[in-house]
Structure 1
């Protein structure tokens, strides 16, 4: 199991873990206070639980997954020394900030509806509001600090990536494109899962057919993302073409969902109301991520057969100590002669 080997790597990992623990403690309190305030016993016999009562549990579930997944992504980025993924994590954290801000608005709307229906204790919103305000403030501060550490990590990883790929500028650009593509696949998974969970839990009156199709899409999506990474590493053109077709199908699916959420003629607008803002954010972010992923997939396919495959078969980039040992014993694993040791290079190397 890889562990961070430098100060900035440890700082980045520690920051992600600290944010996850504190943010989930805040969300856990909000969840507990909300659930204890509900008075669903006042519902009439046979009456369904209002979707507003499911808002907080859904947000909590997504935040738990979101922060745990971020810690995994941080570990993975440090293991692979993927500077693109490190930058992507900062953007991902900004997305969590936006989501936390939207949560405050959506929870306020849900509590007011429940108070109107006399299904929750009066004053619940005022009790929850300070904690809902604290969450985006904390995430915003952590995001700013993460940005500074990401810059240091870019400096730190630049030379080891240079040694891994060689001095060929065109090859480095191809490797950069590959890194972007792999990072996008990992973020696509979170956005798709976030949208799907909210849709299944919060949106009422979903037809049986639509519900089971959405459930089946989850494992299929995970399998397709793994296959997409496999195809690009193996430089399989038929597999890459199939993957690009799947991206088009995914884009069509999310456009369809956005239309359903806002088209009054379909008579389902009110059903999406409890989570429409957050569903819209996830749908739009997923669409943007799919477009970027599809474009990057096309560029990666254009780079097939141009010498990158041997370099990406070994997923982890050696750290400075490994590279130093390899230099002292001669050629590296790809047959490239070692021209100088790490200490001989004092200027900053870039990967772009």
Structure 2
């Protein structure tokens, strides 16, 4: 059931104000979103300054690959900041629906984000090392290994990690632990409410829990699928300055169509589970599975028709021309969410 905006806001305020634990949970998520976005924004601004300085170097400095890589890192920074805003809404939604599974998932996600922060450190180290190794082997009058403030890149490596990357990881670990504790308290608080709503029937409890997990995954899915799909559209845009490699227009618009289809299929799945309509429920995954099966058959028909020779020739040409193409990877996104229609 879709509530009018007034009722939605009223119920949200009521649920958030229900106890000190609900208030602390939402307040903690607000503080986390603000702090992490600010810290990640510092990282983004620092990377942007580095990129602009590299763009001023002459072509013979051979920093084009480093510029492309820092562009990709900056786009990851933007996705990370966007996810923090999404996670705040995700926290409020968990309180609104009194979904303890979603609250526990939020704490786990924070540790995953901290892991991403650690990966980001390794990416920065690798990028900086590649850059310094490239520049140090070139004439120092044109390609000196210094940043915009005249500081040597090699001297900045550890300083940058300590001042930009480490605080972000520490904050995520602290808030992840705090939200985990609050989720445990809310699990105790909401457990009785859910018991009164569903009763002692273990089968009904299992069905309800399965539905909550499915809807929670849908919510996460819509963010991750769209975030990485839109990011891929930007990076691989046929007119993009920051492209990893050039796509032909057909492949680009095919990807665009899939991105739009993602939104439609997620919406249908959400509506289906809410209405408990079995045929509609099955239509979403079945349609995608059927489409995949048909396309797999079309690909299979091309086997032993010279496809392998074309692929081998492409690899040979790639090695001959010494091209440097990076594979665009898009993680299979998780899919999460929760729903609660009753007060």
Query: What is the TM-score when the length of structure 2 is the normalising length?
Result: 0.70
Q: CA offsets per residue over residues 24-43 of structure 1, 9 Å max, x none? A: 21111122222223320225
Cα offset, 1:198, TM superposition? 4.6
- Show the counterpart of 1:304: none
Distance 1:209 1:29, change over 3 A: same
2:340 to 315, 331, 344: 315
Aligned to 2:285: 244
The answer to whether the 8 A contact 1:55-1:107 is kept is: no
> Does the CA contact (< 8 Å) of 2:226 and 2:262 recur in 1?
no
- Note closer, same or farther for the CA distance 1:25–1:165 as it changes in structure 2 (3 Å cut): same
User: Which sections of structure 1, spanning at least 5 residues, go unmatched?
Assistant: 254-263, 294-311, 319-352
Alignment match, 2:5: none
Gaps spanning 5+ residues in structure 2: where? 1-8, 136-142, 236-241, 296-310
Q: Structure 1 residues 29, 40: closer, same or farther in 2, change over 3 A?
A: same
1:137-176 equivalent positions in 2, closer than 5 A: 137-176=170-209
Residue deviations 1:296-344 (CA, integer Å, cap 9, x gap): xxxxxxxxxxxxxxxx9x93443xxxxxxxxxxxxxxxxxxxxxxxxxx
Measure, in 2, the Cα distance between the counterparts of 1:247 and 1:139.
36
- 2:38 corresponds in structure 1 to 25
Please name the residue that 1:205 is paired with: 245
Q: Distance in 2 between matches of 1:164 and 1:28?
A: 43
Deviation of 1:57 after TM superposition, in Å, equals 2.0
Give TM-score scaled by structure 1 length: 0.69
**Residues 194 and 36 of structure 1: CA distance in aligned 2, closer, same or farther (over 3 Å):** same
Contact 2:41–2:81 (CA under 8 A) maintained in structure 1 = no
**Which of 40, 49, 53 pairs up with 2:55?**
40
Q: Kindly report the root-mean-square deviation, in angstroms, between the aligned alpha carbons of the 2 structures.
A: 3.3
Say how many residue pairs are matched: 278
Using the alignment, how far apart are the partners of 2:227 and 2:291 within structure 1?
15
2:331 aligned partner:
283
Structure 1 runs of 4+ aligned residues shifted over 4 Å read: 117-120, 246-253, 264-270
Of residues 175-184 and 136-145 in structure 1, the stretch that sits farther from structure 2 once superposed is: 136-145
1:128 counterpart residue number: 160
Specify the SS of the correspondent of 1:39: helix
1:193 to 2:233 alignment:
no
1:111–1:212 Cα change, 3 Å = farther
Name the CA distance, whole Å, in 2 between partners of 1:18 and 1:249. Answer: 45
Rounded to whole Å, the distance in 2 between the matches of 1:219 and 1:125 is 41
Structure of larger gyration radius? 2
Provide the rounded CA distance (Å) in 2 between the counterparts of 1:109 and 1:246: 42
Q: Equivalences for 1:1-352 in 2 at 5 Å?
A: 1=9, 2-3=12-13, 4-5=16-17, 6-37=19-50, 38-44=53-59, 50-115=67-132, 116-117=134-135, 118=143, 121=147, 122-123=152-153, 124-130=156-162, 131-200=164-233, 201=235, 204-207=244-247, 208-245=249-286, 248=289, 267=315, 270-272=324-326, 279=329, 283=331, 286=333, 289=334, 315-318=340-343
Displacement of 1:157 in angstroms is 0.8
Cα distance between partner residues in 1 of 2:128 and 2:226: 25
1:48 Cα deviation (Å)?
Answer: 6.5
- SS of the residue 1:42 aligns to: coil
Deviation at 1:173, TM superposition (A): 1.8
